[in-house]
Amino acid sequence: MRSFEVQNKIKILPENLANKIAAGEVVNRPESVVKELLENSIDAGAKNIEVMIKNAGKSLIQVIDDGEGMAEEDALLCIQRHATSKISSVADLEAIQTFGFRGEALASIAAVSIFELITKRSVDELGTIIKLDENSNIIKEKDAFQKGTSISIKNLFYNVPARRNFLKSNATELKHIIETFKRISLSYPEISFKFYNDDDLIFDLHASDMHERMKSVFTDDILDAVIEVKEITDYMSITGFVTKPVYLRKAKGEQYFFLNKRYVTNRVINHAVFTAFENILEKGDYPFFVLFLIIDPKKVDVNVHPSKLEVKFDDEKEIYSFVNAVIKKTIGSYDLVPSLSIEGTEQKEALRLQNFRNVEREDFSDRPFSSPQSANNVKRPSIFSEDDIDRLFDNINKDIKAGAPSSFDAHPFDEKQPKEIYHEADNSSAQLETPFIVSLHNKYILSQIKSGLMIIDAHVAHERILYEIALQSFDANMPFSQHLLFPQTLKLDPADYQLAKDLEPYLINLGFALKFKNKNVVEIVGIPSDLKTEHEVETLLGILQEYRKNEQEKQLEVRDNLAKSFSCKAAIKAGDKLNEKEMRILVDKLFATSMPYVCPHGRPIVIKIQIEELDKRFGRTS
């Protein structure tokens, strides 16, 4: 009878092998080592930190700091797994305010490199040297050093060839290292940083404030391209910088978000910022930003990923709303109307967009029909009564007649034309006379403003107005429709028929009243009050086509997509003639919107030419 020897299959891994496996979670490239060592130096209270790199970190990574240093016993323990000074209980995990805290970074790094640690506290006469040889043997020495810690990592992944083979080119690995260095140095402007690559000093960042650190890390003129963000509340605070719309980038990687001074990636925050810029962004544009969010550590979980790059918030909706509102408010503090200047020689002239200027909130002093009092936050007078505006605007399309006479068809030098906008009535207030307003080629509206001439694209201005009306109608959920005397029918292809059925609740809120018949036939019995009655069929078809196009190209949310599609197809078209009163109402409604400068698709609505530019072209000196 044969006997079988039973062998155990499950074994405890040797310590050195376990450390190499753990290293795969914490250390995947030289950049990971730089990140962990820099964060340890900051946690140690360092005021000066130096980083030295050779061969893109493959040959040498050395980080030297003047932090508090370690005692000999701590130096020996720090390279052991699960050894840390950052936490001591489960409760500490709920309020983490330091960087690395899992007790695996140094042990993992030491397992895949030639490791050397030199450290000294201010109270010690001699410092401690800890070395690990190729067989993971610990060598301990004593010598005289300055206070602080120096860690050298040589021949990274020398004993894990497969991992080393997966490293990219030196240029790529160095790029990742520098990016991490920039992130951490941005987060701590009060610390001095130096960065050496192959003995060349690349960065020499002196301790300073955030403005100076921005100039040191990016370019000297970076502050000219950004707007400062600052909103402090008891619950959370956000500070930093966002790009001015004129400096939008094509690069997706230039977004820096720091949570309690820790660089993290979070789609919620990115989307909140992008949405605040959505009316200004064109396809492929990304806003540059450097933002710092401070929140109670108990309200966020940073222990989601070994690299600590991902976080989870207790209340993502609240964070999203807060960030989005603050960025919108910040963008709104700048005049987004580009000014045109004329430059060049007699042989060659060109129009150039000038930078945007800073304006106070609620400053309407440089808008059409605003009085000088508006600059002092006094509510600007309306040209018409609210009833008059509502009545006329609701029918703005219906009243457009192809041959309707315009108030400004007369000769431009007619004596009846108003010559001045503003005049002083007394010492305490300024009164408003009716400014001139004229249509150019039935496309643009020209109006005098305090600083010169404002030009408005009528179609995209109406788009912006209808877009915001559509969003308000979705929120109000109180549909209002003008019923047609003779309902219109149209036959759709099966896909558009199904799309119309899916969108019916939203179309009803916009003001459409539809009946779905057999054989993909739709009957239009009511339309929005803003829609011209002769164009209901082509407008509905256009909305469906635009919606499907936006869905494929931009992946917009349903309400936003439909609002943009509706505003695009229902707005007045180039060639539609507006009389003087309709133009004034259109402009008045435009500047009552939340973003009167760009249409929902990102196209500019308004530009202006300064009076100084006109004077220059006509040779006027006064």
SS3 of residue 48 by DSSP = strand
- The residue with greater pLDDT, 431 or 2, is 2
- Tell me, which fold does domain 460-570 have in CATH? Ribosomal Protein S8; Chain: A, domain 1 (3.30.1370)
The first and second tokens of residue 392, run together, are 């006329």
pLDDT at 72 over 50: yes
- The residue with greater pLDDT, 401 or 241, is 241
- Tell me the C-alpha distance between 233 and 242, whole Å: 19
Query: What is the average per-residue pLDDT within 441-453?
Result: 87
pLDDT at 530 over 80: no
Write the burial class of residue 424 (CB in 10 Å: 0-12 exposed, 13-18 middle, 19+ buried): exposed
| Strands in 226-279 per DSSP E | 226-232, 236-243, 255-259, 262-263
Query: What is the average per-residue pLDDT within 430-453?
Result: 78
- The residue with greater pLDDT, 553 or 485, is 485
Q: For 262-285, b where at least 16 C-beta lie within 10 A, e where not — what string?
A: bbbebeebbebbbbbbbbbbeeeb
pLDDT at 110 over 80: yes
pLDDT at 268 over 90: no
As a whole number, the mean pLDDT across the chain is 78
Query: What is the average per-residue pLDDT within 1-7?
Result: 56
pLDDT, position 99: 57
| Amino acid at site 452 | G
**pTM (two decimals):** 0.61
pLDDT, position 240: 96
The first and second tokens of residue 372, run together, are 């000088």
Angular region, 27: left φ>0, alpha ψ -120 to 50, beta rest: beta
In tens, the pLDDT along 191-235 reads: 999 999 999 999 999 999 999 999 999 988 899 889 999 999 988
DSSP state of 54: E
- Tell me the C-alpha distance between 177 and 171, whole Å: 10
Strand partners for 452: 449, 610
pLDDT band at 101 (very low <50, low <70, confident <90, very high): very low
- Tell me the C-alpha distance between 124 and 71, whole Å: 8
- The residue with greater pLDDT, 527 or 14, is 527
pLDDT at 365 over 60: no
pLDDT band at 130 (very low <50, low <70, confident <90, very high): very high
Q: Match 């970190």 to its residue by tokens.
A: 57
Query: What are phi and psi for residue 603, nearest 5 degrees?
Result: -80, 145
Per cent of the chain over pLDDT 90 is: 33
| Amino acid at site 500 | A
Second CATH level (architecture) for the domain 15-208: 2-Layer Sandwich (3.30)
Per cent of the chain over pLDDT 70 is: 72
In tens, the pLDDT along 277-323 reads: 876 766 667 888 999 999 988 888 766 555 556 777 888 889 999 99
Domain boundaries along the sequence of the chain: 15-208, 218-332, 339-458+603-617, 460-570
SS3 of residue 232 by DSSP = strand
Chain mean position to CA 535: 38
Q: What CATH number has the domain spanning 218-332?
A: 3.30.230.10
pLDDT band at 606 (very low <50, low <70, confident <90, very high): confident
- Tell me the C-alpha distance between 212 and 255, whole Å: 19
Query: What is the average per-residue pLDDT within 62-84?
Result: 85
Q: How far, in Å, are 154, 187, 274, 317, 319 from residue 191 at the CA level?
A: 26, 9, 31, 34, 29
The torsion angle over the Cα atoms of residues 77, 79, 85 and 91, rounded to 10 degrees, is: -110
- Tell me the C-alpha distance between 422 and 263, whole Å: 52
pLDDT at 136 over 90: no
In tens, the pLDDT along 330-353 reads: 887 776 666 666 555 444 444 444
Q: Rounded to a whole number, what is the largest CA-CA distance in the chain?
A: 126
pLDDT at 401 over 70: no
pLDDT, position 124: 93
Q: For 161-193, b where at least 16 C-beta lie within 10 A, e where not — what string?
A: eebeeebeeeeebbebbbebbbbbbbbbbebbb
pLDDT, position 241: 95
Give the chain's radius of gyration (CA, Å).
33
On the CB side of 178, CA atoms within 13 Å amount to 16
pLDDT at 157 over 80: yes
* 111 within 8 A of 22, measured Cβ to Cβ: yes
The first and second tokens of residue 470, run together, are 């559509």
pLDDT, position 160: 85
